[in-house]
Amino acid sequence: MARQPRLFDAPPEDRTSATLQVSESNRSAWAMLRRWTAWPGGALALAGPAGSGKSHMARAWAEIAGAALWDGEGRALEAFEAAGRRLVIDNANRFADEAHLALLLDAARAGGGAILLVAQEPPQSWPMALKDLRSRLAAIPVETLHDPDDELLAGVLARLCKARFIKLSDKAATYLTLHMERSFAAAHAVADAIDREHVRGSRPIPVAVAVRALRSMGMNAPDPDDEAGEGSPEGT
C-alpha cells in the first residue's frame, strides 16, 4: 500500500506547562519544581536519561517561575540577574567555567535566587576539578525522572499524534504502550512512524496501523490476536 503523503508538517513540539503530562512517574519532581522558592540553597538538579522529559519539565518550570533558559552564550550570572535571579541550565554537567558555576551557585544561595541544573546524571557524579564546586554540587537536592508509566506514555503519544492531525484509538494506544520502548524519545519516533503509515481520515487509527508503525521501526510487534483480549490486527 502506498504511503499517504503528508498534507501538513508537524509543528515543533510545544514544550510548555500547558502540554506537560504529569502522572505518578513524574509527579514528585514536578511538585518539587513548583516549590522553587523553598529549594535549599536556591538550587535543584533534575536528572534522568535522554528522552525522559527533563527539558520539557525544565521549560515548563521556567515559564511558571519567569526563569531564563541559558543557552551557553554570554555569562550565566548576567542571565541569572537579568531574569530576576532565576535560571535553567540544561546539560549543566558540561558547564565549562567551573569557577563561574561556583560563583553562580553562591549568588543563588546568598540572594534568594533559584537555579535549575539539568543533566542525565546527578551533580554529585559530574567530573568537576574544583574541590569547592564539588562540595557545592554534592549539597544540591536531586529529582530524578524515570521511565514513563502507562498513563504518562499514552498521554504523550496522544499529544504527539494530535500535533500531526492523527487521533489514536484507545486500543491502538494500549497496544503501543505495551510494545514500544518506554521513553519520550521513543514516543516521538513512534508518532513519526504512525504518521508515515497512516492513511488519513476522520476515524481514530486502528491497532493495525500501530502494528505496522512499530514493525517499520524494526520492533517486535506481535499480532494482537496472539494476545488475550486484543482482537484481530484490523480491529479498532
Q: Which three cell numbers stand for residue 150?
A: 502507562
As a whole number, mean pLDDT of residues 158-183 equals: 89
Q: Summarize the confidence of residues 154-177 as an average pLDDT.
A: 89
Pair 104, 73: CB distance under 8 Å: no
Q: Final residue of a domain: which of 92, 127, 144? A: 144
What single DSSP character describes residue 50?
T
User: What are the CA-CA distances from residue 31 to residues 22, 39, 71, 88, 114 (Å)?
Assistant: 10, 12, 25, 17, 15
Domain identity same for 96 and 186: no
Report percent pLDDT > 70 for the chain: 87
Domain end, chosen from 144, 163, 181, is at 144
Residue 77 lies in a domain: yes
115 and 62 part of one domain: yes
pLDDT digits (tens, 9 = 90+) for 33-91: 999 999 999 999 999 988 788 999 999 999 999 999 998 888 999 999 999 999 999 99
Structural domain of 38: 27-144
The reply to whether 32 and 46 lie within a common domain is yes
Q: 32 and 140 in one domain? A: yes
| pLDDT greater than 80 at residue 15 | no
Q: Is residue 17 part of a domain?
A: no
Q: pLDDT at position 232, please?
A: 39
Q: Where are the beta strands (DSSP E) in the chain?
A: 43-47, 68-70, 86-89, 114-119, 142-144
> What CATH number is given to the structural domain containing 168?
1.10.8
Rounded Cα distance, 91 and 144, in Å: 14
- Read off the pLDDT of residues 99-145 as tens digits, 9 standing for 90 and up: 999 999 999 999 789 999 999 999 999 999 999 999 999 999 999 99
